[in-house]
Amino acid sequence: MKFFVDTADIAAIRDLAATGMVDGVTTNPSLILKSGRDIIEVTREICELIPGPVSAEVAATDFEGMVAEGRALAAIAPNIAIKVPLTWAGLKACKVFSDEGRMVNVTLCFSETQALLAAKAGAAFISPFVGRLDDIGLDGMDLIAGIRQIYDNYDFQTEILVASVRSVNHVRDAAKIGADVATVPPEVLRKLADHPLTDKGLAQFVADWEKTGQSIPKAKA
């Protein structure tokens, strides 16, 4: 499974990229607002940090506006994935961009049939929102499993990018189902490494090592 980090925070992206765990980045208007940065400026900086796909979302809701904005965003860097909403206008724009050889991330997916349409429109990524489905009493992972089955049935190459990830369990369950990508907030990505038994075991090793009175020589850089 690929990990995309869901943020426009440059410091967080740089820190996580150093681990080798970041395969891409996703942004949206809410994350751009939170960053307090100009969308072109911050997106260009992210693209320079991360060689993998960087999703930049259009703000327009009409077809012509999406195409114009999408082309402007794509001009920022070759690794831009133009992000469009799963509406008829968004699907039409997706077809235009995919025909031009551009990566498209179709977002705000909440049903298997929506995901089917996005794949037929040539989307590189489909972004089903699992957390928001959980919020209204549904099981977001049921949607991931359904999309996986449909895409496998017809050999669609669109990658399932699990979005609205709220917990480690979301990542684990999506990986077990076979989702291609999980886009996660920085704090959730860091939590994937956490386990109380790891902390307990490390504390014991540290305590026992101190009792030996030894030190390991540091190699020169």
pLDDT in tens, the chain (221 residues): 999 999 999 999 999 999 999 999 999 999 999 999 999 999 999 999 999 999 999 999 999 999 999 999 999 999 999 999 999 999 999 999 999 999 999 999 999 999 999 999 999 999 999 999 999 999 999 999 999 999 999 999 999 999 999 999 999 999 999 999 999 999 999 999 999 999 999 999 999 999 999 999 998 87
Q: What are phi and psi for residue 23, nearest 5 degrees?
A: -95, -15
83 tagged catalytic = yes
Selecting among 83, 92, 200, 218, the annotated active-site residue is 83
d(CA 106, CA 134): 20
**Rg of the chain (C-alpha set):** 20
Predicted pLDDT of residue 138: 98
d(CA 54, CA 46): 7
d(CA 180, CA 83): 17
Domain 2-194: assigned CATH number = 3.20.20.70
